[in-house]
Structure 1
């Protein structure tokens, strides 16, 4: 008598990973970094303007299997039509100037993102100041400058010294401190010379520093990194800074920040009031706050991941802020405990030091001088590309540098020893 044949198992294919649309441009995360962070999490589809040489070069480094959509020449409506074909579960961007585009794509695809009204106060420094003042969070004198005729009235409102910067911009490009009406006129003429349609600038009051809060060796400001889902704000970290290079160029980050007892809570409270005042309900934010004689004051709120922050946070506490941003865009909300100080969950201080010249017009020295950096305590990597024809230009802002030093230290005193060693080496390098 024959036996029965067992029924073969039914094989089912695993569900396809969700599609995440990445509106890609110059910003705070690289294409390769995004693809790596999203591995086993989603299928990333990159929308980028291949007419931009930097964007084209970045996206060319992706494997051939990656999906890249060239947005060069597309209207916003055409771009949204193309995006709608992918059945996306989320939309994200890491570029300030693409926040409007990402908001339009998200609205068309029916997925969470900053709404258009929120985007406008994130990309427009004047509107942001207005919104913060109207909500009673912080009044900062700020005026728009459309032409040289606006300089006098603007200066009368802000007083001296004041800060001149583009109304929409990032990375401290064309941003400077002015100490007189003549200097203001000269800088504005320099920034707008030859432009058929000059960019709109803002002039705002200078937030005076209080170097006694954290000590003169460290930067007089911090950034707060947060994750937001449906209006619920969760602090991820407070990031410390090294002092700015003139006029407003960042020179490095470290996590966790070095703050007196209780100050982290005060800084986070101010940041959360600002996020609510600006109507931010989704995404990852990067908010810069300065220490002044009047207490912590807002520099600005950015509606995307802060540049370089994800690296130092991951190396100090194991928190992958880039992956967190991707998960958040796809609907997950699982931020870890905030990184506010050294402890069991954050056993070391991780840093990046930017190899940026201390003054304008300087040239890089011989490459062998940088070899000494590798022997400093705590230095893990020196990533530098030296071009003898390179010259410092403060107008290009924070990104005008030749490289970055990566490392870590057991604590802030040890970090200071390492940074002092970098300072000594670089003093012999720039000429």
Structure 2
């Protein structure tokens, strides 16, 4: 039987979803570089043939050596991770082992500065940007580029430590604030494990003035999308366009939705730009998650590409709606098996899935318009009457691994905190895309009051 080594670090799909699908392709062995979640342990543990926990894992080349030696001892036929913070180390390990993996292009898919430079060279549309390695360089970039600008860490993920800047006077405070946000990210295990000394590797870029005008026929969607896909032996296979609800400042995602309701010609335009972006990175075999901004003139610019699948419940959304298992497809590719990818990227629901529409909803202490909660209720989701917030036929399911412990006061929203603001993540399903959008907004707008109401019962 095939033996598969999964390198666990915080991030990616919930283990109760991912592990059974990986284990369906062979024996699943886990090398845990961070504490495994206790949440839903009974659901994911039976899928594991073996687990090795490393209490103080090394970094850099020593980490790659650890993965290589562990894979050799197991006789692993494939090695993978779903975490942004481990993809670089795992790709290097796979290459040393002679196994399929993302390949040397992984560095361009991890360092956002190299990523954008590769896109510029390939003619892929991107916002103007500058590398900034010091406060002085940031001040110079603020004078040169057109604000508003977005300052971000080159090795970040999950919207952590991203700040919006409006003038050169913002440089000093922003440089200090991003330092604080990066330290907070490290404290919860959200930092790069292979590349050394990454904290001062940053870039600043113009914020593309996005618009849904000319794109969506219905209001209420965000002006950006993502394309989920797989690169198999250098060939890109886009799987679906995922729509988004509007972000809340500073660019904190609250919901991704499937299916995307854009007309097919517009989805094909997005698909083609995504293909150019992924091809320019030179990846070999991996999952991909590409984010694109919609512009008012019918054009798009590329924001990010990751050499791994989108996090949260993105994979489950696709399986629920389109009936496709991206993770199973990728693992079989890594094992060298024959895989029949969808001949074309699906753009409408054909009945292959189980629900009409599905969303990953990240609940944060703001409403759908981005207004922070005015109070600090106690977080007690089990006491909330969720069905009162939803439409008939809709369902909502919590993801235990992403839940704030019950009984704590809801913390104040931190605009630079990204995913650290999550109170909980939920799979929301509905009969159709319009109902799904309505229900996502209803939860965001009604949860603060629902928590207060639950406390009075």
Determine helix, strand or coil for the equivalent of 2:236: strand
On the 8 A contact 1:30/1:58 being kept in 2, the answer is no
For residues 249 and 154 of structure 1, the distance between their equivalents in structure 2, rounded to whole angstroms, comes to 24
For residues 158 and 95 of structure 1, the distance between their equivalents in structure 2, rounded to whole angstroms, comes to 32
Report what 1:335 is aligned to: 341
Among 86, 92, 102, the alignment partner of 1:98 is: 86
Report what 1:38 is aligned to: 22
Q: Deviations over 1:153-191 (max 9, x none)?
A: 222343211001111010000112111222333122122
Give the stretch that moved more between structures: 241-250 or 337-346.
337-346
Determine helix, strand or coil for the equivalent of 2:446: helix
Among 108, 114, 123, the alignment partner of 1:121 is: 108
Report what 1:289 is aligned to: 292
Q: Does 1:381 align with 2:396?
A: yes
Determine helix, strand or coil for the equivalent of 1:96: coil
Matches within 5 A, 1:219-230: 219-230=222-233
Q: Deviations over 1:227-273 (max 9, x none)?
A: 22112222211111111011111111111112134110000000001
For residues 235 and 160 of structure 1, the distance between their equivalents in structure 2, rounded to whole angstroms, comes to 33
Q: In structure 2, do the counterparts of structure 1 residues 416 and 281 end up closer, same or farther at CA, with 3 Å as the change threshold?
A: same
On the 8 A contact 1:145/1:200 being kept in 2, the answer is yes
Report what 2:188 is aligned to: none
Q: In structure 2, do the counterparts of structure 1 residues 423 and 46 end up closer, same or farther at CA, with 3 Å as the change threshold?
A: closer
Which structure has more relative contact order (CA 8 Å, sep 6+)? It is 2
Question: Deviation of residue 290 (structure 1)?
Answer: 1.0
Determine helix, strand or coil for the equivalent of 1:240: strand
Matches within 5 A, 1:4-19: 17-19=1-3
Question: Deviation of residue 275 (structure 1)?
Answer: 1.0
Q: In structure 2, do the counterparts of structure 1 residues 167 and 366 end up closer, same or farther at CA, with 3 Å as the change threshold?
A: closer
Matches within 5 A, 1:258-277: 258-277=261-280
Q: Which runs of 5+ in 1 are unaligned?
A: 1-16
Among 223, 241, 245, the alignment partner of 2:244 is: 241
Q: Deviations over 1:353-375 (max 9, x none)?
A: 22112255763457479734224
Question: Deviation of residue 134 (structure 1)?
Answer: 0.7
Determine helix, strand or coil for the equivalent of 2:228: strand
How many residues in Structure 1 have an aligned counterpart in Structure 2?
412
Among 400, 406, 410, the alignment partner of 2:427 is: 406
On the 8 A contact 2:428/2:440 being kept in 1, the answer is no
On the 8 A contact 1:249/1:398 being kept in 2, the answer is yes
Determine helix, strand or coil for the equivalent of 2:52: strand
Report what 1:393 is aligned to: 414
Among 361, 365, 372, the alignment partner of 1:357 is: 365
Among 307, 325, 331, the alignment partner of 2:330 is: 325
TM-score (norm. length: structure 1) = 0.87
Matches within 5 A, 1:93-242: 93-116=81-104, 118-192=105-179, 198-212=199-213, 213-214=215-216, 215-242=218-245
For residues 48 and 194 of structure 1, the distance between their equivalents in structure 2, rounded to whole angstroms, comes to 25
For residues 340 and 50 of structure 2, the distance between their equivalents in structure 1, rounded to whole angstroms, comes to 28
For residues 366 and 91 of structure 1, the distance between their equivalents in structure 2, rounded to whole angstroms, comes to 38
For residues 122 and 383 of structure 2, the distance between their equivalents in structure 1, rounded to whole angstroms, comes to 49
Over aligned residue pairs, what C-alpha RMSD do you find? 2.8
For residues 219 and 169 of structure 2, the distance between their equivalents in structure 1, rounded to whole angstroms, comes to 30
TM-score (norm. length: structure 2) = 0.82
State which structure, 1 or 2, has the greater radius of gyration over its C-alpha atoms: 1
Among 43, 54, 75, the alignment partner of 1:87 is: 75
Q: Deviations over 1:394-420 (max 9, x none)?
A: 332135211234332232222233234
Q: Does 1:371 align with 2:391?
A: no
Determine helix, strand or coil for the equivalent of 2:160: coil
Among 265, 278, 281, the alignment partner of 2:281 is: 278
